[in-house]
Amino acid sequence: MKLFRVLFLLVLLAAVAPLVVLVLVLRANGVDALSLAASAGVSAVLLALVISMVMARRVTRPLDELVAGALDIARGRFGRQVAHSGRTELSDLAYTFNFMSTQLDQYNRDNARLYAALERGYLETIRALASAIDAKDPYTRGHSERVAKLAVEIGRELALDDATLRVLEFGGILHDVGKIGIPEQVLGKPARLTPEEWNLVRSHAAIGAEIIDGVEFLKSAEPAIRHHHERWDGGGYPDGLRGESIPLIARIVNAADIWDACTSERPYHKAATHREGLKILAESRGVQLDPDVHDAILRVLVRLGKSDGGAVA
């Protein structure tokens, strides 16, 4: 609209100014052409109005389109294209705009790909670390990986966002990383542990949290590692947290850990059947496990075909 005003004034000036000069010159020569000039003036104004309106539209329409496109790109919608036609400078601008937008989209995709590759690298590294721990103890082979998978499934069941699911994956893989500081004889001891040995085993949660303390991208998983042995009733370790004061990711990893530990072979017990595992889970509900997390893991197990649902309640 502003462009229209400027154009209108310019065209009007161009049309009316010579007319005024003409009238003045004629009058100096004794010819009075005022009425003729007035009608010419009116038509000049009308013509100016029409011409400037048409011209302004021709310019503002593609400009509006370009502004809308630029706004979209500013919002991160790279690749946005604008329509253009004809061979004016404006369509050149639109053409280059489209090219720029496509390039931005390309760079953005490249970045996303690089980022994903980097993250995959991280994940592979911590997987390697976790299998180093699992290898210390033949009974726990694959345990970390299974706990991570199950924890992510529980998180999904609880409708957690993608970022938290990622943290659950890291937390699940690394939850026992602190066992690296515990002698194999203690970890693999088939007999009852002495109180000193028990304390040693219990220290793995805090040790694990300390190990990853210096790693920025794992920071968010630290609560899962430190608190995966806390109990809903407050009787767990290392901090004796109770109920909701235990971080949710730790409550989830705890549930996944219990399920995997009791359904796989250990030095101190034989693998429980799924039915027995479900019974153990049910007994832990509201005592060791967050009731909501317990219900979520049940739904996950039903979905994975490890429970027929309702057999154990």
Partner 1 sequence: MKVLIADDDRLVRAMLGDLLVELGHTVVSAGDGAEAVTLCDREPPDLLILDFLMPRLSGLDALRDIRRRHAIPALLLTAINQGSLRGVEGVDQVQGTLEKPFTRKTVERAIGKAVPGR
Q: Which residues lie near partner 1 (CB under 8 A)?
A: 1, 60, 63-64, 67-68, 71-72, 74-76
Nearer Cβ to partner 1 (71/117): 71
211: CB partners within 8 A, 6+ apart: 177, 178, 180
Nearer Cβ to partner 1 (4/122): 4
Please pick, among 149, 179, 219, 279, the residue that the annotation labels catalytic.
179
CB of 60 to partner 1, least distance (A): 7
- Phi/psi region, residue 265 (left: phi>0; alpha: psi -120 to 50; beta: rest), is beta
User: Catalytic site residue 279?
Assistant: no
**In the structure encoding, which two tokens stand for residue 154, read together?**
């529980």
CB of 264 to partner 1, least distance (A): 40
CB of 2 to partner 1, least distance (A): 8
Distance CA 265, CA 277 (A): 12
281: CB partners within 8 A, 6+ apart: 255, 258, 259, 289, 294, 297, 298, 312
**In the structure encoding, which two tokens stand for residue 138, read together?**
């033949």
Nearer Cβ to partner 1 (22/104): 104
CB of 108 to partner 1, least distance (A): 14
Nearer Cβ to partner 1 (60/131): 60
**Identity of residue 11:** V
Show the 3-state SS of 163-201.
HHHHHHHHHHHHCCHHHHHCCHHHHCCCCCCCHHHHHHH
Q: What is the DSSP letter of 238?
A: S
* Strand ranges for 134-279 from DSSP E: none
Nearer Cβ to partner 1 (71/304): 71
CA angle (147, 148, 152) in 5-degree steps: 115
Distance CA 201, CA 144 (A): 17
Q: What is the DSSP letter of 273?
A: P
CB of 164 to partner 1, least distance (A): 15
Strand partners, 289: 285
CB of 57 to partner 1, least distance (A): 11
Q: Which three-class secondary structure state does DSSP give residue 269?
A: strand
Nearer Cβ to partner 1 (115/198): 115
The answer to whether 136 and 204 are in contact (CB under 8 A) is no
Catalytic center residues: 179
